[in-house]
Structure 1
């Protein structure tokens, strides 16, 4: 039987139809079941990230979300759920066109959970395997974002360059441009960021998103000083029914675009913002922007007044407080050159900034410089005033003091009255400007009463005072109050009160009438002048002020120990440098300043020596850690002959003291550290040695020795004469030992130690055993019969002394010593 060809055709057709139907079934089931559900879960994560996002309008605004795993509730479960659904789809419908898009969504799920490594691996797999255009574009868009989150910006930009060559599908276009904008914003590429915003402007229909696009474009044009175009985009945003937060910030940024407008128009615009009842909680920001605008117009006093108003209106915004205080400080520092006021406002700025902030170190350094300057200026002013008072006839001086006391008491009474009856009056917001002084108007009594009661309920009945050092306290002030007057610590107020309690005679007696007291104050003043001159020249770049300070110094203090140094400073910076050079060469040949002029490389040579010693210090420190104590001791002894006069050598000497102590024991360590501290001059090494000594003393106090010590007849390199004392005997025997050393004409330092809770001892050391025996004999001859009975003293070698110290038992050694 012969089968007709037409039957074969029908069989093939039926088979093909069945295959198409199966594929359609796979695609439909995949699309509307697992793929749809998984996509909804991912959308839910993205929605939560968008809704919880905090927008910082003062930097370029974000259009899309920042990935933050802490902001999504149940993120792990949601990620696992989406991946599970997509994995089921891939297993059950392997022929579906949604297989590779599902892989791409798995990559995105991992990306949203910040599992960046796995996300990149998955997305690369999709891109390398699929011919599906949708899946490929999805994987590349998510891969670009993954590289951006990883901060591998070169890889992200490479992916973006590839995507630019593709015709992005309509459904993916917005997501593509949002992630592209995110990448260019991270890399600070304003040109590409702006180009991406223009693309989004063409296709975005969502009102909230397009308003962000308008706002972002306006921000970039502001940065580029294209004020008119910036204004146009902020107006577009405002006309498109933005959220309240977006509306307020768009109005603020629109004000920034009015740079080319007249002051009258700008003040009019800000006036509307201030009077708008919707902005009642935003007055701090409005006044702040007015301040910034005045800085641009170089109206610095107006700017300061408006920044103060911003502070007064600020309830809890630390960043805005910080910026207000910092701007005031910068104006006083850079423009008005009022360093005392600048220092106060930098202190306030620092109180409202976290130490982690990138500007903290720079601001702290500037504040410290100004603190140093102000402290020294205050020293000069105070000391000169005190000395001047002593030159006034006594009867006149008494009257001046009495008037001063009376004025201080009056001020204190006024403060107390003000504190007890202080009212906070609600007022009409006004702009502070030279051409518009502004005024304060009383609102109706019910609002005054309500506001006062609410304030007192929350804050108590407190005085108007700016907060300068405590970040949690909020400042309230009126534009008519001088903020500088209340910039004081509570400790200052206490000192004023104590001063008021003193009568005129007490104050008179505290003045420096004696030459000794005047000389002491003048020494302080000399030092302050030198410090101020250096600060002006070296840290504030105020060369003329530095020169004037140094010249006042040499007129006033020609016999000062700092005179040669100041002359040398003038030689370096003044036009009459030859004059000052000759003074050094003729009168100060023994000073370092003479050497610096004669040999300009002197400091270079000294610097090389300093670096050499620093390197040697590092080597010796490592040896000390490795318990190579003898090597350290011998090396320091050899270096002593060459470098002992170098100030840094004090650090190396400390290593020797530690090595000697470690070699001998806790007593030896304490003895060597006390000996070192007796002659040390460098503050840092003194602090370090003191901390080591405190630690050694603590270890000794806490140590418990079991059993009895066993002493031996040792040969030691070092011996000690020890005098045991109780608490009641400490002074008597110490004085007798001092007298004994004087009688024998021996200049040996005495060091005191604590053996236990009730027993102390004095120790002196000498490498010559016979010398100590002589001291012992003479000391005992000077004791009376009663003292001999109660006192124990002996000469002991270093090894046995460390054992006495360790065991806290000198009686066993006395038995051994007397045998």
Structure 2
């Protein structure tokens, strides 16, 4: 017995590398640690898959996303698996399961989002592992991690390394091809996804996985317009007993690509959708059926029917909440593109976001689209509300009271009508039949059982008799002698209707609350008008610049000028009207005249007087030099000369970053050459119209000595900060703290200027890349459908042809396009060197480049500044 104990104790040692020792540690590490840890990890992975709701209306993801909530809820399980894996390493160091346990630690780190730790674990297994299959698993896991992090250079290196490996087993081949499909999925390379999944399918571990892969292949073929291939793979995806929902979509889409999209028999197509709708097995998919039918009707050009069907689809039961989001997004698209109803578009997008998760890429896209629409709706609704309140405020008290009573009555009727619409007719029974013989409506019910009828009776009684207490006539007559003679608002308040007996009208406002909301002081009216003035102006700008709706922009700006002729925004409003009328072929000259008559010193006047004036970086530099010269003349006392320089600079370069400084310097000259009244008047106008807070503060400090004590008291404390006029001294406009332009470069840095994107090819490469223009257009249609990007080509010199994509509002927008182009754009025949040598360039710099023809000189500038 002692010998057995001694042998057992010797075998427990993790240091002695004997056969007995190794056998003991291999068995213990495998079954007491590794196996149990692996089971726990697989249980969590299975729960992630079970909790994920597939969205079959979109192309399915290659890998099911890891849900952080599921991982968090299984933290104890994963911690236990980590402890077991660590024990297999620490307690059984001579066993052959150490490397496998390190791999499990990497999987746990990956699931818990600890990417750096997972990266180190997989790298360790790859470099130190002795088992070839395990090393391959680690490399494939490493590849997926690189793709997650969008580290495509490391991913490409890993792919290249794995492509040279031999004897990869079937399990790892499946994982490798599936991860390759994921790699292409993140790069929006549809052909790559198809190719990788096609190679993965034969190695699928089970029929359900193979069925899902075939469904994804079918979806990609359908998006690519290869209907025959799509139909074949949809049919294949029905093998392997897939979930019913997948079978439903596979059958539906297979029918679409085979017949519905090609047939001329519209009645048969509509009957097909109607039959699907009636099938009881599809009770949780009714919204899908109606949505697909709506998309079909949209292809037929029947927009009203499409909208009706989309509204129906939104109300139908369904198992996928995201589909409701797509339905509202489609309604938003139709209202934006077909009806130009920006308000409805905004609210449909709001509804879409309630069904789509915040982290979903679709949600990000909707939020970006909503930014402008939110501002639009805010100003539209503020105009409607404030305009109504201003009109009501102008009425007599009696008229206001009558209006409030009428509103409450209409609201009550509306609420009752809504309740009636929801009231379900009772089933016919023997009592209904008996009532029928007595001449009564068999569908009617007992009065006091009918809530709607009682509400109508209460409203009618209130309308005729007012809000009376429930008492005998003699008590009511006696009470009249005790009432106060003080006049009160006649209450048609539904307080008595908003009790437990009348829940339908619970939210109806009282007459007193409505009347109290009517503005009745000059301050309140002034606030309403100030908000209206702002909203008319901002709405006009928004419509012109962001929504590109010229006529509504003109309407709002003209309303602003008509209603508020003394608005401080008038010069800019005139300028916007000038631009709008000029673009639409209207009478823009009238605004040139108005600006010259009413605002001769405005920068907008200088701009309309010189519409061909230079702009951009060169104009800023020139105006900066002019300002510096005028500033010097001012402090030397040469005031007329300073004024002349300011005027000539503003005429040549009317709208630059120096404009407001030039205008203030001109006012300072006025203080030296003209009357005190004129100086004060110009300062006050400047303060109202200038946007730069530092310049406004400086102007206020110039104004202070000319103000009375009452006017000084009215100044806000923040305006009393002393600012020295030396702040007006010119500073180099091209200075940039982060980016320094090389001294010998002919190119200038102006990131706010319009930019273009350039792909330069040699003559031979341009001949080989025959489809480049069409591929660019397809790329834009897929990724920038609303950006209005234009493509074109021209000869740069005898050696090079260039392809141009434009316009981009500034360098930031151009850089976003550059990054997406570098990562995702592909065109047959275009060499990789041309893709890596592409660049973006400001309009001004492009003019310089077009003169020098020196592409490498600009690329040097581009790399220095932007890369």
Distance change (3 Å), C-alpha of 1:151 and 1:597: closer
For 1:359-398, what aligned pairs fall within 5 Å after superposition?
359=365, 361-375=367-381, 378=384, 382=388
For 1:504-543, what aligned pairs fall within 5 Å after superposition?
530-543=537-550
Distance change (3 Å), C-alpha of 1:211 and 1:581: same
Distance change (3 Å), C-alpha of 1:123 and 1:569: closer
Secondary structure of the residue aligned to 1:124 is helix
How big is each residue's C-alpha offset from its partner over 1:500-551, in whole Å with a ceiling of 9 and x where there is no partner?
999xxx99xx999xx9999999998777655543332123201233345556
Deviates more, 1:560-569 or 1:212-221: 560-569
For 1:129-208, what aligned pairs fall within 5 Å after superposition?
129=128, 132-149=131-148, 151-165=150-164, 166-204=166-204, 206-208=206-208
- 1:601 maps to which of 653, 662, 672: 653
For 1:5-154, what aligned pairs fall within 5 Å after superposition?
34-35=29-30, 38-39=34-35, 41-53=37-49, 54-57=52-55, 58-64=57-63, 66=65, 69-70=71-72, 72=74, 73-85=76-88, 90-92=93-95, 107-108=106-107, 111=110, 116-129=115-128, 132-149=131-148, 151-154=150-153
Per the TM alignment, residue 322 of structure 1 is displaced from its structure 2 partner at its CA by 3.6
For 1:237-316, what aligned pairs fall within 5 Å after superposition?
237-251=237-251, 253-254=253-254, 257=257, 258-262=260-264, 263-313=266-316
Aligned to 1:660: none
For 1:247-646, what aligned pairs fall within 5 Å after superposition?
247-251=247-251, 253-254=253-254, 257=257, 258-262=260-264, 263-313=266-316, 319-349=322-352, 357-359=363-365, 361-375=367-381, 378=384, 382=388, 409=409, 412-413=412-413, 415-416=415-416, 418-419=418-419, 422-424=422-424, 498=511, 530-547=537-554, 565-574=572-581, 575=585, 576-586=587-597, 588-589=599-600, 591-598=602-609, 599=651, 601-606=653-658, 609=661
Unaligned runs of 5+ in 1: 1-21, 391-396, 427-448, 462-489, 614-639, 658-671, 683-819
Distance change (3 Å), C-alpha of 1:273 and 1:86: farther
Alpha-carbon distance in 2 for matches of 1:385, 1:250: 59
Secondary structure of the residue aligned to 1:91 is coil
Secondary structure of the residue aligned to 1:216 is helix
Per the TM alignment, residue 309 of structure 1 is displaced from its structure 2 partner at its CA by 1.7
Distance change (3 Å), C-alpha of 1:271 and 1:130: same
Per the TM alignment, residue 281 of structure 1 is displaced from its structure 2 partner at its CA by 2.5
Alpha-carbon distance in 1 for matches of 2:506, 2:574: 41
Alpha-carbon distance in 2 for matches of 1:591, 1:656: 16
How big is each residue's C-alpha offset from its partner over 1:310-336, in whole Å with a ceiling of 9 and x where there is no partner?
332358966444433333233212211
User: Is the 1:49–1:66 Cα contact (8 Å) retained in structure 2?
Assistant: no
Distance change (3 Å), C-alpha of 1:555 and 1:612: closer
User: Is the 2:579–2:588 Cα contact (8 Å) retained in structure 1?
Assistant: yes
Aligned to 2:468: none
Alpha-carbon distance in 2 for matches of 1:524, 1:112: 52
Distance change (3 Å), C-alpha of 1:305 and 1:189: same
Aligned to 1:816: none
Aligned to 2:217: 217
User: Is the 1:383–1:522 Cα contact (8 Å) retained in structure 2?
Assistant: no
Distance change (3 Å), C-alpha of 1:99 and 1:197: same
Per the TM alignment, residue 49 of structure 1 is displaced from its structure 2 partner at its CA by 0.8
Distance change (3 Å), C-alpha of 1:241 and 1:424: farther
User: Is the 2:22–2:95 Cα contact (8 Å) retained in structure 1?
Assistant: no
How big is each residue's C-alpha offset from its partner over 1:543-584, in whole Å with a ceiling of 9 and x where there is no partner?
233345556777898888776654433322223333432343
Deviates more, 1:157-166 or 1:131-140: 131-140
Distance change (3 Å), C-alpha of 1:414 and 1:152: closer
Unaligned runs of 5+ in 2: 1-16, 427-444, 456-502, 610-650, 666-682, 701-710, 722-867
User: Is the 1:377–1:532 Cα contact (8 Å) retained in structure 2?
Assistant: no
Distance change (3 Å), C-alpha of 1:255 and 1:84: farther
Q: TM-score, normalised by structure 2?
A: 0.51
Per the TM alignment, residue 81 of structure 1 is displaced from its structure 2 partner at its CA by 1.6
Secondary structure of the residue aligned to 2:656 is helix
Distance change (3 Å), C-alpha of 1:302 and 1:240: farther
Alpha-carbon distance in 2 for matches of 1:123, 1:215: 31
Aligned to 1:691: none
Distance change (3 Å), C-alpha of 1:355 and 1:188: closer
Per the TM alignment, residue 132 of structure 1 is displaced from its structure 2 partner at its CA by 4.7
Per the TM alignment, residue 233 of structure 1 is displaced from its structure 2 partner at its CA by 1.8
Secondary structure of the residue aligned to 2:578 is helix
Aligned to 1:430: none
Distance change (3 Å), C-alpha of 1:29 and 1:522: closer
Distance change (3 Å), C-alpha of 1:364 and 1:340: closer
Distance change (3 Å), C-alpha of 1:230 and 1:517: same
User: Is the 2:215–2:233 Cα contact (8 Å) retained in structure 1?
Assistant: yes
How many pairs does the alignment contain? 544
Alpha-carbon distance in 2 for matches of 1:527, 1:312: 39
Alpha-carbon distance in 1 for matches of 2:43, 2:342: 51
How big is each residue's C-alpha offset from its partner over 1:377-413, in whole Å with a ceiling of 9 and x where there is no partner?
63697489879999xxxxxx99x99899779736633
User: Is the 1:350–1:364 Cα contact (8 Å) retained in structure 2?
Assistant: no
Q: TM-score, normalised by structure 1?
A: 0.53
Alpha-carbon distance in 2 for matches of 1:517, 1:243: 63
Per the TM alignment, residue 217 of structure 1 is displaced from its structure 2 partner at its CA by 0.7
